[in-house]
Amino acid sequence: MSVDIKPYLQYLEKEKHIPKDEACALIVEAIKSSVEKSVMSGQNVEVTADPATGKLDAHVIYSVTDSVSDPLREINPVAAALLQPGAVVGDEVRKPINVADLGRIAAKTTQQLLNQRFRKIEKDQVFLEYKDKVGDIVTGIVRRTERGNVIVELGTAEAVLTHKERCHGDEFRTGDRIRCLLLEIREDPQRGREFVLSRANDGFVRRLLELEVAEIADKTVTIAKMARDPGYRTKIAVDSSDPKVDPVGACVGARGARVRNIVKELGGEKIDIIRFHKEPLKLLEEAIRPARPRNVRIDERNRSIHFEVDEEDMRIAIGSKGRNARLTSKLMGWGLNIAKATNTPEASRPSWAKRRRVWPSSSACRSNSSRSSCSSA
């Protein structure tokens, strides 16, 4: 007896975005599997369906034989003739199955199998939707917190923003709309596919700049170097392929509007934008302004720079707990050896090793032609 599954196919196509052909094949597979494992275990079951008409049929297939040794799969010629007149030994005959009468266990098993298949299809569809967005900024709604991780709804997907991928000072409440970098989509053996977000990754600031600054988006202005201490400060060295375009001014925007929007998104994280120079000394001068490096000695072999700054500039050059110096070192890719300048004659000064500070490379805005600094203050 045929069963009409057309309404179900239409529902799956409209609500679950599963094509009729694919949905039909899944239903056939699920019914066949559940029937063979439950009420008709050991029998040869055939299930067919037409996606166009929605007509589904099920049969048990028997081989016609004079000597029946397996009654689950074989049938004698007399019984076979009742199912298919003219059937002879060696033929196969089909006995119709009323799918609606298979019982509660078979129906439940079928539904469980279908739910498993459909969940996998939905997850695969979500993956295809987002796989090309890895490395881009996505917007989502905070739904809950689990073990210190923020769970964010991206629409069709749920993503996780772990504690280490948040900036210092990031505080979110349920219902907040937030922007994050889609860092990766990884496979977890226990939890399955996991969408990982980040606000601490350097790429988050880079993408924010691309969205905010048209000259970066069209590649007139390029981000040559970047160093970030999430929640504290980001240093960015920019360059321009067009001599008529000031790269720093383009990033800052009119009255600091562009960079101020980024600072707001980052919760007050300071943004220093400087002009890029290939020469290490010029880049150093830009990076530590308004401090001025003196008695500079560049060690090309070890990629380290030794220099002094005036006492009043030490705090600027080094920063709180050395954070500014570490950022400058990271931005340049050079180790920095910083000492306090002294008026003592060079010959009688203590050696660098005795008085240096070493950093291995590891909403007020102001700008001029070479540098901009912006903070939430």
What confidence score (pLDDT) does residue 75 get?
95
Tens-digit pLDDT profile for residues 283-305? 999 999 999 999 999 999 999 99
**Among the listed residues 333, 338, 334, the one whose alpha carbon sits nearest the alpha carbon of residue 358:** 338
What confidence score (pLDDT) does residue 212 get?
95
Determine the average pLDDT of the residues in 55-66: 93
Q: How far is CA 103 from CA 7, 29, 72, 97, 339, in A?
A: 22, 18, 19, 12, 85
Determine the average pLDDT of the residues in 56-75: 93
Determine the average pLDDT of the residues in 79-94: 93
Q: Is the pLDDT of residue 39 over 80?
A: no
Q: Fill in the DSSP letter of residue 316.
A: H
CATH no. of 134-200: 2.40.50.140
What confidence score (pLDDT) does residue 189 get?
77
Q: Which CATH class, in words, describes the domain spanning 203-362+367-375?
A: alpha beta
Domains 3-129 and 203-362+367-375 alike in fold: no
Tens-digit pLDDT profile for residues 145-204? 998 899 999 988 999 999 999 998 899 999 999 999 999 999 877 777 899 999 999 999
Q: Is the pLDDT of residue 342 over 80?
A: no
Determine the average pLDDT of the residues in 247-274: 94
Percent of the chain with pLDDT over 90: 68
Q: Within 13 Å of residue 44, how many CA atoms lie on the same side as its CB?
A: 12
Strand locations in the chain (E): 3-4, 45-49, 55-64, 74-75, 92-97, 137-146, 149-153, 158-161, 177-188, 192-198, 221-229, 233-240, 270-275, 294-299, 304-309, 335-340, 357-359, 364-367, 371-375
Q: Is the pLDDT of residue 356 over 80?
A: no
The model carries a pTM of: 0.74
Q: Is the pLDDT of residue 355 over 80?
A: no
Tell the CATH topology of 3-129.
Answer: N Utilization Substance Protein A; Chain:P; domain 4 (3.30.1480)
Question: Which residue is it, tokens 């919760």?
Answer: 267
What confidence score (pLDDT) does residue 369 get?
41
Which strands make up the sheet holding 364-367, listed edge to edge? 221-229, 233-240, 270-275, 371-375, 364-367
Q: Is the pLDDT of residue 349 over 70?
A: no
Residues 6+ positions from 293 with CB-CB distance below 8 Å: 281, 284, 285, 307, 308, 309, 317
Alpha-carbon gap, residue 117 to 128, rounded angstroms: 17
Alpha-carbon gap, residue 149 to 167, rounded angstroms: 13
Q: Is the pLDDT of residue 230 over 60?
A: yes
The mean of the pLDDT values for the chain is 87
- What is the biggest distance separating any 2 CA atoms in the chain, rounded to whole angstroms? 120
Work out the number of other CB atoms within 10 angstroms of the CB of residue 126: 18
Q: Fill in the DSSP letter of residue 90.
A: T
pLDDT-derived band of residue 345, with 50, 70 and 90 as boundaries? low
Q: Please check whether residue 34 is in contact with residue 28, taking contact to mean a CB–CB distance below 8 angstroms.
A: no
Locate the domains of the chain by residue range.
Answer: 3-129, 134-200, 203-362+367-375
Say whether the peptide bond before residue 290 is cis (omega within 30 degrees of 0).
Answer: yes
Q: Is the pLDDT of residue 141 over 90?
A: yes
What confidence score (pLDDT) does residue 110 get?
84
Alpha-carbon gap, residue 210 to 292, rounded angstroms: 31
Tens-digit pLDDT profile for residues 259-270? 999 999 999 999
Determine the average pLDDT of the residues in 103-115: 81
Q: Is the pLDDT of residue 279 over 70?
A: yes
Percent of the chain with pLDDT over 70: 90
Q: Fill in the DSSP letter of residue 121.
A: H
Q: What are phi and psi of 54, to 5 degrees?
A: 80, 15
Alpha-carbon gap, residue 52 to 45, rounded angstroms: 23
Angle between helices 20-37 and 6-15 (to 10 degrees): 120
Q: Is the pLDDT of residue 43 over 50?
A: yes
Which token pair is 234? 């980001």
What confidence score (pLDDT) does residue 362 get?
44
**DSSP for 151-175, written as a single string:** EEE-SS-EEEE-GGGSPTT----TT
What confidence score (pLDDT) does residue 363 get?
36
